[in-house]
Amino acid sequence: MGCTRWLAALSVLILCHGCSLSDHGVAQSRLGKASSLAEMEKLIDVPGSIEVETVKSADWTVPLSGLLDLKSAAAQAVHLTDHPEPIHVFVHVVRHPNFGTFLVDTGVSQQLLADPGGHGISWLVRQVMPLDKMQIREGTAHVVARIPGGIQGVFFTHLHVDHISGMPDIPGSIPLYVGRGESTQKSFQNLFVRGTTNKLLDGKADLQEWPFQLNDEHKGIRIGDVVDIFGDGSAFAVSVPGHTPGSTAYVFRTPKGPVLLTGDTSHTRWGWDHGVEPGSYTADQSTNLKSLLMLKDLVARHPATEVRFGHQ
């Protein structure tokens, strides 16, 4: 009886406080140095030497209510209702002339779709993540194989399953970079995906956290904090918490002008154009909206920026 009560108490404690997204190893990033929006904006409109190729790794269909806050005034004004919405799962190939080639997010592994259970996609996750509606265009293995010399690292916008679904094809020695607190901040929702996340990261390098500064009051990363990734002003990680605790956007200076990868701070162009944050897929909608509006203000100041969204 005593053991039963102890287990029950432990269960209540876990349910009340939640758990981290993963217990995978975490370290301070060895790449990148602290910067600021102001420093980035001094350079952002100067053409750079980075190339960014955005690959549609898979086509997918998911509920619109996950992608957009349908309760927002803008959505209700045009009578948006929930329906299956076609989207893409992207992997971005970033080429630096001196530091090599990196991925932003991972696309989708054909291995994972062929055997989702064997790659850690639990039955519960499969109920809310309809893999049967996902069609591969270019799997992660093919993307990596066509890069001369291979990849030097992966920059994650965040660690939701659809953004790490290419991990079965990423070698275990490849450095992985994430926003601060992305895998370690606790929440109740993590209980449902922790096992899947751990499985997809198993055998891979530690997660290296970008050196974003902490907000002393809330103990989370600050919206709009910036890291100069290579230290040469060519590529920047920008903290955009809300969708997840450590969500990160990326800005790259290319020969044709700046490219902004929003990650899932904005899943869709409609959400971006109307200033509407994502819906049920987002952990903290009010913070997500603040991050979204910060990025929109950035682009308004630098209108030559090409914006590439999380899933459309």
Q: pLDDT tens, 143-183? A: 999 999 999 999 999 999 999 999 999 999 999 999 999 99
Helix residue ranges per DSSP H, 140-284: 140-145, 190-201, 269-274
Q: What does DSSP say about strands 33-35 and 226-228: parallel, antiparallel, or unpaired?
A: antiparallel
As a whole number, mean pLDDT of residues 67-82 equals 97
Cross-sheet strand order for the sheet of 235-239: 33-35, 226-228, 235-239, 248-254, 257-261, 306-308
pLDDT at 7: 43
Secondary element (H or E) of residue 237: strand 235-239
What are the tokens at 173?
């020695």
Q: pLDDT tens, 255-277? A: 999 999 999 999 999 999 999 99
As a whole number, mean pLDDT of residues 222-251 equals 97
Distance of alpha carbon 67 from alpha carbon 211, whole angstroms: 29
Q: pLDDT tens, 104-151? A: 999 999 999 999 999 889 888 888 888 888 999 999 999 999 999 999
Cross-sheet strand order for the sheet of 84-96: 26-28, 207-209, 176-178, 153-155, 100-104, 84-96, 51-63, 135-136
Are the C-beta atoms of 67 and 268 separated by less than 8 Å?
Answer: yes
Distance of alpha carbon 156 from alpha carbon 135, whole angstroms: 22
Q: pLDDT tens, 35-44? A: 999 999 999 9
Phi-psi region of 47 (alpha: psi -120 to 50; beta: other; left: phi over 0): beta
Q: 160: burial class by Cβ within 10 Å (0-12, 13-18, 19+)?
A: buried
Task: Please give the domain boundaries of the chain with CATH numbers for all domains.
Answer: 30-308 (3.60.15.10)
Asked whether the predicted pLDDT for residue 211 surpasses 90, the reply is yes
